[in-house]
A and B are shown apart, each in its own frame.
Chain A
Amino acid sequence: MATLTLNNVKKSFGKTDVIHGISINVADGEFIVIVGPSGCGKSTLLRMVAGLETTTSGDIQIDGRRVNDQEPMDRDIAMVFQNYALYPHMSVFDNMAYGLKIARTPRAEIEERVAHAAKLLQLETYLQRKPRELSGGQRQRVAMGRAIVRKPSVFLFDEPLSNLDAKLRVQMRLEIKALQRELGVTALYVTHDQVEAMTMADRMVVMNGGIADQIGEPLEVYANPATEFVAGFIGSPPTNFLSAEILGQSGDAKIGVRPEHTRLSDSGSLKARAAYSEALGAETLVHLKCADGTQFTVRQDAASMIPQEGTEVGLDWDPANEMRFDSSGRRC
C-alpha cells in the first residue's frame, strides 16, 4: 500500500518528445485510469513508472521515495501487460510463483500465497496447465494472479482487457475493480476505452498527445470537460461541436453540446436535416447535418419520434448544458 507521485515527468526518445510534463498525486489505495487515444503516450508513462523506460526529467516517487534510478524489481510494483506476457513454458502455478521463487520465499509460503490468489481468481483447477491451454480470460487472470502474489505497493495495468471479447471485457472490468478494492492496493490503469475509464476510475487522467488535459473524477470530467479534446473523447456518442457563427453569435469560440442534452423540437433555432439513424434498442441515435455541413448527433428515447431521412428538424438544448471553448481548445 503506497502513494504514487509523478512530478513534471517528461520523456523523449532521441529528439522526439513523447511525454511533455505530467504531474499526478495518487493517494494510497486509489484507482487511477489513464485514458487517451492510441499513440498519446499512455504506455510510455506507465512503463516509466515500472522502470522499463528511463525518465528523461522529473521525479517519480513511490511512497515518498524517489525511484527514478531504481531497477523495476526494486520499485515494489507489479505489472499486467496487454498480451499478458505469461511464461509460456511454465505451468500456471510456476507463472505465479516465479517472482516468489526468485525472492527465495519459503516453499510453504509460496504455495499458500499462490493458492490464495488462485482462489480469488477461480484458477484453482488450472494450476498445472500451461498458458496455451487456457482461454483468453483465464490467461488474463493468471497475469493478475502473478501480480497479486507478490503483494506489491502499486499495480500497473497496460490495456489488460483489450484482447478480450466485449462481453468478457465487461465482466473482467468489474472483477478487476472489485479485486483492487478488496486488496486495497494503489493502481494505475491504462486504457484507450473511455467506458472502462468512466466505470473503473476513482479519478481519471485524460491524456492528449503527451499532455494530461484533465485529471478528475469521472462524472466531474464528464460534466465539466476542461478542453475541447476531453469533451470530444469522454462520453459516447461524442459531443457535438458547432461554430459560434452558426448559432448567430460573434467570436471564434466553439460550442459543445452532448447528444444526450439535445432535443429535437420544431421550436429550435438551429435547423438540421436528418441523415440517418441508428436504433440501439433502448435508445436511437439520430445523425443530422446542419446547413454549413456540421455533423450533429441527437440521442432519442426509443419511444420518441424519429424523423424521416431528409426531413428538416429544429435542435434545442438547455443553455446550461452548453460548453464553450476558445480557439486553443480551452474552456472559456
Chain B
Amino acid sequence: MEKRVKFKGLWLPILLVFPQFLITAIFFFYPAGQAIWQSLFIPDPFGLSMQWVGLGNFEFLLADRYYRASFFTTAVFSILVTVVSMGVALYLAVLADRLVKGSGTYRTLLIWPYAVAPAVAGVLWLFMFNTRVGVVTWYLGLLGYDWNHVLNEGEAMGLVVVASAWGRISYNFLFFLAGLQAIPRSVIEAAAIDGAHFWTRFRTIVFPLLSPTTFFLLVVNIIYSFFETFGVIHTITSGGPQQATTILVYKVYADGFVGQDLGSSAAQSVILLAIVSLLTVIQFKYIERRVHY
C-alpha cells in the first residue's frame, strides 16, 4: 500500500522546503563555509591582513600536544555526560512508568531543570560547590573531605559532567518515559506470565523495544555534550585547571576569542564539525542496525 502523499509538479515541494533551506543556508552553510575559508589563513596580530597558509593551521594543530589532550578530554567528558544523563533519566523513567498515581507531579518536577539555561545551571552548581562558600563544599568539609575543583582536575571534571548531565536528564527522561509508555502493557504481562522477572523483562523486552528512543537520545546527547555544554564549562571552570576541562568547543573559543588566533580557531571548528559528522554517520551506520523499529 502506497501511503505517501504525491505532489503534482515541482513548485509546491520547492516552496515548502524553501524556508528551511534559507535558514540552514544563512545559519549553517554560510558560517561553515567561512570557517573553512578562514582556516586556510593566519591573520596578522592586528587583524588587518590575512596570510594564506594552506593546511598550515591543521598541521600545526595536529602536532600540538595541548590540542591532542583536548581530544582525550572531550572523549572522556562526552562519554561521561551521555552515560550519566541517559542512565539517570532511564532509571527515573522506569520508576515513573511503574507509578500510576502522582506520576504527573513527578514528571512536571523533573522537567524543570530543562528550562534552566546551561550557563545558569553552571552558576547554580558553582554556588553549591564554591570552594569557599558552597553549601555542598561545607558539608563535605564536615565529613572530612576537602573539595577543591579549582585545583583538583578530577573534581573539576566531575563537577562539569554532573552540571552538564543534570540539565539534560529532564529531556532524556521525557523521551524515555514516552518510549516506555508506548510499550503495550500486555506485552510486559505476557512476559511476566512466561516467567520473566523484572530485570529479565527489562533486558529482553523493554530495553530492545526502547532502542529507537535510546538511539535517538544517544545521537542528540553526544552532539549536546560536544557543543551546548560550553556555557557550563565557561561558568564553572573556564577549561581549567591546567586545561583539564578544555573540551574541543571550549578550545575553539579560548584560542579564537581569548587568544585571538582566528586561523587556528577556524581550523579547530572545521575539525570539530568533521568529528561530529563522522560520529553521527558511524552511529547511523553501525548502531542503528541493532535498533528494532
Given that A102-B195, A102-B196 are known contacts, is A79 also in contact with B292, CB under 8 Å in the complex? no
Nearest CB in chain A to that of B185: its residue: A85
Do A52 and B187 have beta carbons less than 8 Å apart?
A: no
The smallest beta-carbon distance between B192 and chain A, in angstroms, is 5
Given that A85-B186, A88-B209, A89-B292 are known contacts, is A78 also in contact with B200, CB under 8 Å in the complex? no
B-contact bits for A75-98, CB 8 A (1 contact / 0 none): 001110111011111000000001
Tell me whether B208 is interfacial, beta carbon within 8 Å: yes
B-contact bits for A180-213, CB 8 A (1 contact / 0 none): 0000000000000000000000000000000000
Do B195 and A78 have beta carbons less than 8 Å apart?
A: no
A-contact bits for B244-269, CB 8 A (1 contact / 0 none): 00000000000000000000000000
Tell me whether B53 is interfacial, beta carbon within 8 Å: no
Q: Name the contact of A81 in the complex, choosing from B190, B195, B197 (C-beta under 8 A).
A: B190
Given that A85-B184, A85-B186 are known contacts, is A98 also in contact with B292, CB under 8 Å in the complex? no
Do A77 and B193 have beta carbons less than 8 Å apart?
A: yes
Tell me whether A73 is interfacial, beta carbon within 8 Å: yes
Tell me whether B64 is interfacial, beta carbon within 8 Å: no
Q: Bound complex: CA of A72 vs CA of B186, how far in Å?
A: 13
Q: Which residues of chain A are within 8 angstroms of B200 by Cβ–Cβ distance?
A: 102
Tell me whether B205 is interfacial, beta carbon within 8 Å: yes
Q: Which residues of chain A are within 8 angstroms of B84 by Cβ–Cβ distance?
A: none
The smallest beta-carbon distance between A2 and chain B, in angstroms, is 16
The smallest beta-carbon distance between A141 and chain B, in angstroms, is 15
Q: Which residues of chain B are within 8 angstroms of A79 by Cβ–Cβ distance?
A: 189-190, 193
Nearest CB in chain B to that of A150: its residue: B194
Given that A88-B209, A88-B292, A102-B200 are known contacts, is A83 also in contact with B194, CB under 8 Å in the complex? no
Q: Which residues of chain A are within 8 angstroms of B192 by Cβ–Cβ distance?
A: 52, 71-73
Q: Which residues of chain B are within 8 angstroms of A77 by Cβ–Cβ distance?
A: 193
Tell me whether A50 is interfacial, beta carbon within 8 Å: yes
The smallest beta-carbon distance between B209 and chain A, in angstroms, is 6
Q: Bound complex: CA of A266 vs CA of B189, how far in Å?
A: 60
The smallest beta-carbon distance between B203 and chain A, in angstroms, is 11
Q: Which residues of chain A are within 8 angstroms of B190 by Cβ–Cβ distance?
A: 79, 81, 85-87, 146
The smallest beta-carbon distance between B189 and chain A, in angstroms, is 5
Tell me whether B271 is interfacial, beta carbon within 8 Å: no
Tell me whether A99 is interfacial, beta carbon within 8 Å: yes
Tell me whether A108 is interfacial, beta carbon within 8 Å: no
Q: Bound complex: CA of A78 vs CA of B190, how far in Å?
A: 9
Instruction: Tell me the chain B residues, 180-232 only, with Cβ under 8 Å from chain A.
Output: 184, 186-187, 189-197, 200, 204-205, 208-209
**How many residues on A have C-beta within 8 angstroms of the other chain's C-beta atoms?**
23
Tell me whether A166 is interfacial, beta carbon within 8 Å: no
B-contact bits for A265-297, CB 8 A (1 contact / 0 none): 000000000000000000000000000000000
Tell me whether A103 is interfacial, beta carbon within 8 Å: yes
Q: Bound complex: CA of A52 vs CA of B192, how far in Å?
A: 9
Nearest CB in chain A to that of B208: its residue: A89
Do A99 and B195 have beta carbons less than 8 Å apart?
A: yes
Do B209 and A83 have beta carbons less than 8 Å apart?
A: no
Q: Which residues of chain B are within 8 angstroms of A78 by Cβ–Cβ distance?
A: 193
Nearest CB in chain B to that of A73: its residue: B195
A-contact bits for B148-173, CB 8 A (1 contact / 0 none): 00000000000000000000000000
Q: Bound complex: CA of A51 vs CA of B189, how far in Å?
A: 10
Q: Bound complex: CA of A150 vs CA of B196, how far in Å?
A: 13
Do A81 and B186 have beta carbons less than 8 Å apart?
A: yes
Q: Bound complex: CA of A89 vs CA of B160, how far in Å?
A: 38
Q: Which residues of chain A are within 8 angstroms of B208 by Cβ–Cβ distance?
A: 89
Do A87 and B191 have beta carbons less than 8 Å apart?
A: yes
Nearest CB in chain A to that of B183: its residue: A88
Do B195 and A103 have beta carbons less than 8 Å apart?
A: yes
The smallest beta-carbon distance between A47 and chain B, in angstroms, is 8
Q: Which residues of chain B are within 8 angstroms of A146 by Cβ–Cβ distance?
A: 190, 194
Q: Bound complex: CA of A24 vs CA of B191, how far in Å?
A: 27
Q: Name the contact of A89 in the complex, choosing from B184, B195, B197, B209 (C-beta under 8 A).
A: B209
Instruction: Tell me the chain B residues, 46-64 only, with Cβ under 8 Å from chain A.
Output: none
**Can you sample 30 A-B contacts with CB below 8 Å?**
A50-B193, A71-B192, A72-B189, A72-B192, A73-B194, A77-B193, A78-B193, A79-B189, A83-B184, A83-B186, A85-B186, A85-B187, A85-B189, A85-B190, A86-B187, A86-B190, A87-B187, A88-B292, A89-B208, A89-B292, A98-B191, A98-B194, A98-B196, A98-B204, A99-B193, A99-B194, A99-B195, A102-B195, A102-B196, A150-B194
B-binding residues in A (CB < 8 A): 50-52, 71-73, 77-79, 81-83, 85-89, 98-99, 102-103, 146, 150
Q: A82-B186, A88-B292 are in contact. List 14 more A-B contacts (CB 8 A).
A: A50-B189, A51-B193, A73-B197, A77-B193, A81-B189, A81-B190, A83-B186, A85-B186, A85-B189, A88-B187, A98-B191, A98-B204, A99-B194, A150-B194
A-binding residues in B (CB < 8 A): 184, 186-187, 189-197, 200, 204-205, 208-209, 292
